[in-house]
Amino acid sequence: MQINFEIEPGKEGDILARFKFWDSSDTAQWFKDHGYTLYKRVKESAVLRPALPSESHCDDAEYPYGYFDSSKSRPSSDPLEVYERWGKVAYAQDSANRHVVIKIVPNGTEEYRVLEFLKSQTLEDLKENCVMPVLDLLPIEGYYFAIMPRWGYSIDVPYMQDIQEVIIMIHSLLKGLAYLHGHNIAHGVNISPSSCFLWNPLTLPS
């Protein structure tokens, strides 16, 4: 299995080539051999759905894996489906049916060095400092696949109900930034809700 397209941060690149790569049987088998079952694409759309059925309607998974339930964003959707229009990341389930995100990272880049550092940190330390952990880095010629837990796609969902939840969100964000900056890691682009994730909405105070 080879990656035959360029990965450049901030550039759109060849979306169709990335879709073709993630959807190929060779790629699916490679990840299956490494303990991951990729989500399936719905026809030729940007919608991806889990390939393996969930054993329950909800799962308050143990950290670092995310909470999920079987609620739908709209009547025609499936639980846990995701819309990924760029093909820069993929979604999968591990051997324990836990949901993860996979990102292609060029070897030798600053991004790879940051992810390698985060992988070397303890889960307890990253949880305390509100930083998403890196579960694994799988090598392939010229690249690595960074495996991370699938968390909520935005800190805006579920919607915050009171000022206490807003304060917790801001405090968590500042803790994460302080931790990264303390290890000479800069975010690189402006902080936005799309770059922040919610681990477990049930941990918010009621």
96-111: pLDDT as tens digits: 989 999 999 999 999 9
Give 98 or 151, the one with higher predicted confidence.
98
Q: What confidence score (pLDDT) does residue 191 get?
A: 61
For residue 113, pLDDT beyond 90: yes
Please report, for the chain, the start and end positions of each structural domain, with discontinuous segments joined by +: 15-151
pLDDT, tens only, 80-100: 888 888 888 999 999 998 999
For residue 136, pLDDT beyond 90: yes
pLDDT band (50, 70, 90) for residue 40: very high
**Torsion (CA) 49, 55, 57, 61 in degrees, nearest 10:** -90
pLDDT band (50, 70, 90) for residue 127: very high
Give the residue-averaged pLDDT of 172-194.
77
On average, the pLDDT of the chain sits at 83
Inter-helix orientation angle 25-33/15-23, to 10°: 60
Give 201 or 119, the one with higher predicted confidence.
119
Q: Which residues pair with 100 in a beta bridge?
A: 92, 149
Give the residue-averaged pLDDT of 5-24.
86
**150 and 66 in contact (C-beta within 8 Å)?**
yes
Instruction: Quote the CATH superfamily of domain 15-151.
Output: Phosphorylase Kinase; domain 1 (3.30.200.20)
